[in-house]
Structure 1
Amino acid sequence: MAKSTTSAKKLQQSAILFPTDLGQQASKDISGAMNSVLADVFALYLKTKNFHWHVSGPHFRDYHLMLDDHGDELFAMTDPIAERVRKLGGTTLRSIGHIAKLQSIEDNNADFVEPSDMLAELCQDNVRLTERMRVAHDICDKYNDTATASLIEEWIDQTEQRAWFLFEAGRKVDSSGH
């Protein structure tokens, strides 16, 4: 009886640490990639809200509302990313400092940024986030993690749409209308 109780405890502890059939290495690699994505999502969320709060000029209302929508989309990604990491048995971000260590999207602490520069910077940041998600998707494919990959596919589509909107909103139209 004591032997089967010990085996059951080991199995239970193992299931808590890695509650997935993907394995420990998959958990480690996918969790690492997703934590990097999560760090960039948080960095981009805060930058987007910063620009939302500080945008000015003749297109204020349109830009202000668009950036608020983009911030909402980004924030909505955070919990599913973190929960997916936990479902895989990994741990996730714990602090602003942890985000700073993992983020590839640069902060913008300028006192004033021209609205057109805000849009261009956020467009490039969304493209960078898409690149980071594609890398994470490749890691998911390596381990046949279809659940995480399918979430990433949806987020890539959303991120590409944000980049498209930012690009189009910031594009200069010449005198011929093009």
Structure 2
Amino acid sequence: MADTPKKLDTPTDLETNAVRSVAEALNASLADSYAVYLKTKNFHWHVSGPHFRDYHLLLDDQATQILGTTDAIAERVRKTGGTTLRSIGHIGRLQRVEDNDADFVSAKDMLLELHKDNLKLVEGFREVKELAEDAGDNATSGVVDEWTDLAEERAWFLFETSRGA
């Protein structure tokens, strides 16, 4: 019975310690993605001012894009034999992006804060990339490039938009 796999074991040819490191980095990036998603939706719901419609739509589009990456990140963890986030509390323990519970945030401050947060996502994705390459995990190394590019694009749009806020 010693060869009986655990219920969530996923076979992989990657070395166990390397997989664990990649999964931990992916889970931290996943937690950050959820934190940035919720903050983006928060700001989408609470933005005000003369550019309301433009900012409201921009933030909704960006939130949708961020949420779209979360499943791919979590599934990458599982494909490599790891387990992923299970709760809001788990997200809170792993996230590196700070929440914003302020009653009011100016539109410009929203844009600048989300710019910084998306760059934090980029930083985390670059860490994932490095660990994946060290582990010989070509699939993770390849797919993380797309997530990095999307976060860089969001940061760019937020930066450029904040100039006129």
TM range (shorter): over 0.9
By how many angstroms is 1:146 displaced?
1.1
The change in CA–CA distance for 1:107 and 1:14 in structure 2 (over 3 A counts) is closer
Aligned residues: 165
- The runs of 5 or more residues in structure 2 that have no matched partner are none
Larger Rg: 1
TM-score with structure 2 setting the length: 0.95
By how many angstroms is 1:87 displaced?
0.9
For residue 64 of structure 2, what is the aligned residue in structure 1?
72
For residue 16 of structure 2, what is the aligned residue in structure 1?
24
Give the Cα separation in 2 of the matches to 1:51 and 1:115: 8
For residue 91 of structure 1, what is the aligned residue in structure 2?
83
The change in CA–CA distance for 1:152 and 1:158 in structure 2 (over 3 A counts) is same
Q: CA RMSD in A?
A: 1.7
The change in CA–CA distance for 1:32 and 1:115 in structure 2 (over 3 A counts) is same
Of 124, 134, 141, the match for 2:133? 141
2:24 partner SS: helix
By how many angstroms is 1:16 displaced?
5.8
For residue 36 of structure 1, what is the aligned residue in structure 2?
28
Give the Cα separation in 1 of the matches to 2:7 and 2:145: 28
1:90 partner SS: coil
Contact 1:40 1:103 in 2 (8 A): yes
Contact 2:19 2:135 in 1 (8 A): no
Moved over 4 A (4+): none
- The runs of 5 or more residues in structure 1 that have no matched partner are 1-5, 174-178
By how many angstroms is 1:25 displaced?
1.2
Of 120, 124, 131, the match for 1:132? 124
For residue 115 of structure 1, what is the aligned residue in structure 2?
107
Higher RCO (CA-CA < 8 Å; seq separation 6+): 2
